[in-house]
Amino acid sequence: MSPSTRCRVAELIAAPVVMTGHGWADYQLVDSGHGRKYESYGPYSFIRPEAQAMWTPRLEHWPADGEFVPGSDEDGGGRWAYGTRQVPRDGWPLARGDVKFTAQCTPFRHLGFFPDMAPVWDWMGERLQGRSDAQTMNLFGYTGVGTLALSDYGPVTHVDASKKSVAQARENAALSGMADRPVRWIVDDAAKFTAREVRRGKRYDGIILDPPKFGRGPEGEVWRLEESLPGLLDNCRQLLDAESSFLFLTVYAVRMSSLALIGLMDEIFRDLPGKLEHGDLAVREQGPDGRLLPTAIFARWSND
């Protein structure tokens, strides 16, 4: 049956949802505005570009240990400029709950993990509450913070095309005391891997995927979001069934609405029970009247 002819079962929720992340001991969005954001990562503070922070900062001064200065192109180039305080170039440890990981100033303007994903990790945990045998998969798993959060509920398959990222994910597992968790660490192209899993007749209880706008696999495979996402989602659908719990898709840095994502997911996932939702990820500034800073769009299927 083609995606377009699958019968309606899942309820499509038209109104968008905002998933709000809040700071914790090792991370805070301190302030934002004038196209930038001011954050603390443990003992260090940083300024990074954020085009959606169009308002005026509330603080007069942002004393930072480093600032990412973007390049002249809009595709992510730039460099870090550091203050007088020494920031460890090889990183420093942070934690959220039992998961420990290394933060580091990367050439890609982020710091080795995505703090706005915290409510997503919590949401997945709620779907799997009480499970210890759930089979889940983290595609484009990066440095593994989400993988380690999922490993509380059963075996996880972690897939990323970067050997360096997977190595860092394994180091984060060791740092967390979770090196013996049942995680498959896979260096592979996400689209090729999921296609093979379909041919093997595999199934999962949950899948999370955070694809880039553009990327290359370990053998030079080209990923372009608008062209490659439909086929990948269709394979993900074949790895889930009516007893599965969720699929969560996040997309960053694209000129696209969450309505586009949920329209695609509605076509592919509509025959499963449960519901389909879409919206924005956002992080709230610290303080009682902290503003919401949007960071990404998402679409999700859940079977509660």
Q: What is the DSSP string of 222-279?
A: EEEHHHHHHHHHHHHHHT--TT--EEEEEE-S-S--HHHHHHHHHHHHTTSSSEEEEE
Number of domains in the chain: 1
Is position 99 within any domain?
Answer: yes
Determine the pLDDT at residue 4.
57
| pTM for this entry | 0.93
Mean pLDDT of 234-261: 94
Determine the pLDDT at residue 201.
98
Whether the pLDDT of residue 277 is over 80: the answer is yes
Determine the pLDDT at residue 76.
60
Confidence class for position 221, pLDDT limits 50, 70, 90? confident
Amino acid at 226: E
Is position 281 within any domain?
Answer: yes
Is position 162 within any domain?
Answer: yes
The per-residue pLDDT for range 133-162, each reduced to its tens digit, is 999 999 999 999 999 999 999 999 999 999
Is position 60 within any domain?
Answer: no
Is position 79 within any domain?
Answer: no
Is position 68 within any domain?
Answer: no
The per-residue pLDDT for range 77-136, each reduced to its tens digit, is 799 999 999 999 999 999 999 999 999 999 989 999 999 999 999 999 999 999 999 999
Q: How far apart are CA 136 and CA 147, in angstroms?
A: 9
Is position 121 within any domain?
Answer: yes
214-216 and 222-224 strand pairing = antiparallel
Range(s) of the domain holding residue 179: 3-24+89-302
Token pair 């949007």: residue? 294
* Candidate from 5-9, 89-93, 220-224 with smallest mean pLDDT: 5-9
Is the Cβ–Cβ distance between 250 and 298 less than 8 Å? yes
Percentage of the chain exceeding pLDDT 90: 86
Whichever domain contains 213, its CATH number is 3.40.50.150
Is position 49 within any domain?
Answer: no
Mean pLDDT of 205-224: 85
